[in-house]
Amino acid sequence: MKIRQKISYYNFILLITPIFLIGVVSVLFLIIFVIRFPSDAEYISRTALINPFVLMKAIGAFFTSNPTAIMYVFIYIVICIAICAVTNTLITRRMTSELEKPLRELRRNMDTIRNGDLNFEVMGSELDEIDDLCEGFDSMRRALVYSREKERQLRHERNMLIANISHDLKTPVTSIKGYIDGINDGIADTPEKLKRYLDTIRSKAGMIDELVSNLSTFSKLELSGLEFNMQKGDLRDLVLDVTDSYRIDFERAGLELRQEICDEPLPVVIDGEKMRRVLHNLIDNSIKYRRSESLGVTVKCFTDEGHAYISVKDDGMGIEPSELGKVFESFYRTDSSRTSQVKGNGLGLSIAKQITEKHRGRLWLRSAGLGKGTTATICLPLDTDTEGSNEKNTDN
């Protein structure tokens, strides 16, 4: 019900109620008058049928001859005034209460929010305008709850970021310092030992360089400052080129590389360098997280309903279903990868997902559990613009 309708309803009640009550009182006083002054009442009723002027004279003569009747009239008038005053007060108070109650509730909720408490629900109202106001207020409350939770999550991620960076940098730096001290102390006293020490230092420095590079890319993606050079290209050719570059790596790992690539071209608009990085990350993970009994990796490329798909399927360590929703979080590593000797900083999949989403695509993982392998799938929209032009995009 709208406020205008509610006010009109109470105005109607405010008009009808005193009229009805005064009517009842009038009937009662008329009965009392007839009982108290029967002869005069009969005379006045007869004159009322003859002439109004005669009626007025008869009433005047009645009050002259019966002064006590004036008291009854006075009481009648007082009762009528009291009826009007009381009904007006009660009905107005009821109407005001119904209008003010939800507003007082909103005011109380505002004070609650001011005190930092957002764990409540704003109740609606039967009045449409106030109900809309309550709904808007509750939407604002939910937005504040989401904002506070997002802030808490970002603060937690920032703390985790600092902790993980410190840990991931400390390990190779400590190792490098140890090998340098070994060289200075003359422990590497043969050319073979010296070469092994230097190779290890180079490897550890490469780990630091990779971490810094990933951090730089990650921060640019988070701040939407990474430039994308979007161009038309064939996704099929990109997949073939990347997978062919891994043949030696698969041979060294004792794995078979299986390719199931479609025959027709897959026109897409992408940043080729960055999509290569995504595909490299997925294939690297399949090699790193293999098991001793792993046989190989299958790379598929196909199209379906206006989208191009790339899937990388392995029979490696697999992922617990409960962890599938967390693997794209920055610095997150599954329990199996943390307990293994596999090197990694937990940024690769997070970066890969963000890059894919910048291409208006999706990236997801599927796994039946530990020891049952993992399938990573990329979905990108096909380019349907036959003329199209290259575009350079910076997400600022």
For the segment 200-250, what is each residue's pLDDT rounded down to a tens digit?
888 888 878 877 876 777 676 665 667 888 999 999 999 999 999 888 888
With CA atoms as reference, report the closest residue to 3 among 110, 104, 130.
130
Between residues 179 and 213, the one the model is more confident about: 179
For the segment 300-346, what is each residue's pLDDT rounded down to a tens digit?
999 998 899 999 999 888 888 888 877 887 666 655 554 444 555 56
- pLDDT of the residue at 110: 84
- Rounded to an integer, what distance in angstroms lies between the CA atom of residue 291 and that of residue 272? 31
Between residues 52 and 143, the one the model is more confident about: 143
Q: Which of 95-104, 186-195, 358-367 has the highest mean pLDDT?
A: 358-367
Q: Mean of the pLDDT values across residues 184-190?
A: 84
Q: Which of 16-20, 46-50, 100-104, 116-120 has the highest mean pLDDT?
A: 16-20
- Average pLDDT over the chain reads 80
pLDDT band at 378 (very low <50, low <70, confident <90, very high): very high
- Rounded to an integer, what distance in angstroms lies between the CA atom of residue 16 and that of residue 278? 78
- pLDDT of the residue at 396: 43
Model confidence at 387: pLDDT above 90 = no
For the segment 248-292, what is each residue's pLDDT rounded down to a tens digit?
888 888 888 999 999 899 999 999 988 998 999 899 888 888 877
CATH class of 228-394: alpha beta
Q: Do domains 141-221 and 228-394 have the same CATH topology?
A: no
- Would you list the domain boundaries of the chain? 3-117, 141-221, 228-394
Q: Mean of the pLDDT values across residues 83-87?
A: 92
pLDDT band at 39 (very low <50, low <70, confident <90, very high): low
- pLDDT of the residue at 282: 92
Architecture of domain 141-221: Orthogonal Bundle (1.10)
Model confidence at 47: pLDDT above 80 = no
**Structure token digits, residue 135:** 């709904």
